[in-house]
Amino acid sequence: MADLKMRIAKRAAKEIHNGDVVNLGIGLPTMIPKFVPEDIHVTIHSENGFAGLGAAVEHEAHIDTDIIDSSGSYVTTAPHVKHFDSADSFGIIRGGHVDATILGAMEVAENGDIANWIIPGGKVAGMGGAMDLVVGAKKVIVAMIHTQKGKPKIVERCALPLTAEKCVNMIITEMGVMEIRPEGVVVTELHPDYTKEDIQNATACKLIFAPDLKVMEEE
C-alpha cells in the first residue's frame, strides 16, 4: 500500500507547475513535495495562516512554537513566506489564488461532486477548511487509492454528504489518471499493472477511455 501511495504522490507531483501555489490535504498529499523537481518553484499554502511552507522541523532545538501547519505539526517556512490570519487565508482560497488543491476523498462522483468530510453516525470531526478549498482552488485534484478495500469510491452519485458539488477536475489513483469532463470520467493514463476491464470493474460509474490513452509511469 505504501508503494501504491508513493506511485500516486509521484504522479500527482507532475501536476505542479513552476510558480504554482498549492494546498495539500492530510495523509498521502503531504508526500507529494518530495517528488517535485528542484527547478519547479512551488509555494505551499497552509490554511491555518501562511503561504510558503518549508520542511518539517528535524531537531527540537529548531522549533518555533509560533509556527504550526494545519495539522498542528511544527514546521519551517520558505524564505518568501507570508503569514496571515484565517480570514485572509480563506480569502486567498475562495478568491482563486490557489492554483491547485490536492486532497483525498471518500467518494467522487462522475459529475465532479466530492464527499470527504463526514460519515453519518461516526465520530464528529468537521470539515475544517475542506469545503472552502474545493470550492475556491482553481484545480481540484483527488489523489487516493482507487477503492476502499475493494468498494468503489468513484461512483455515479455520492451517497455520503457532499463537501462540494461539481468541483473535482482530476483523479489520480494507483490504477490510472482520470479527468472529469462534461462527457464524464475520462481515463487519460492507465497503469501497466491493470487492464481497461480492471479499472472499470473497480469503478461504479462508466469510464470513457481517451483516444490517446497513455501509460501511467511505472513504479
Q: Which residues are catalytic?
A: 47
Q: Judged by CB under 8 A, does residue 66 bind another protein?
A: yes
CB atoms within 10 A of CB 32: 25
Closer residue to another protein, CB minimum distance, 15 or 113: 113
49 binds another protein (CB under 8 A): yes
Tell the smallest beta-carbon distance from residue 102 to another protein (Å).
Answer: 18
With CB under 8 A as the contact rule, the residue among 25, 104, 112, 129 that binds another protein is: 129
Judged by CB under 8 A, the residue of 6, 78, 135, 186 near another protein is 135
Query: Is 72 near another protein (CB under 8 A)?
Result: yes
Least distance CB 111 / another protein (angstroms): 11
59 binds another protein (CB under 8 A): no
43 makes contact with another protein (CB under 8 A): no
Q: Looking at 30-38, 85-93, 100-108, 194-202, which segment touches another protein (CB under 8 A)?
A: 85-93
Min dist. Cβ of residue 206 to another protein (A) = 23
Question: Are the C-beta atoms of residues 110 and 185 closer than 8 Å to each other?
Answer: yes
Q: Interface residues for another protein in 158-187 (CB under 8 A)?
A: 161-165
Q: 3-state secondary structure string, the chain? A: CHHHHHHHHHHHHCCCCCCCEEEECCCHHHHHHHHCCCCCCCEEEECCCEEEEEEECCCHHHCCCCCECCCCCEEEEEEEEEECCHHHHHHHHHCCCCCEEEECCCEEECCCCEECCCCCCCCCCCCCCHHHHHHHCCEEEEECCCEECCEECEECCCCCCCCECCCCCEEECCCEEEEEECCEEEEEEECCCCCHHHHHHCCECCEEEEEEEEECCCC
| Interaction between residue 63 and another protein (CB under 8 A) | yes
94 forms part of the interface with another protein (CB under 8 A): yes
How many other C-beta atoms can be found within 10 angstroms of the C-beta atom of residue 219?
Answer: 14
Query: Which chain residues interact with another protein by CB under 8 A?
Result: 46-50, 60, 63-68, 70, 72, 77, 83-87, 89-91, 93-94, 113, 118, 123-132, 135-136, 161-165
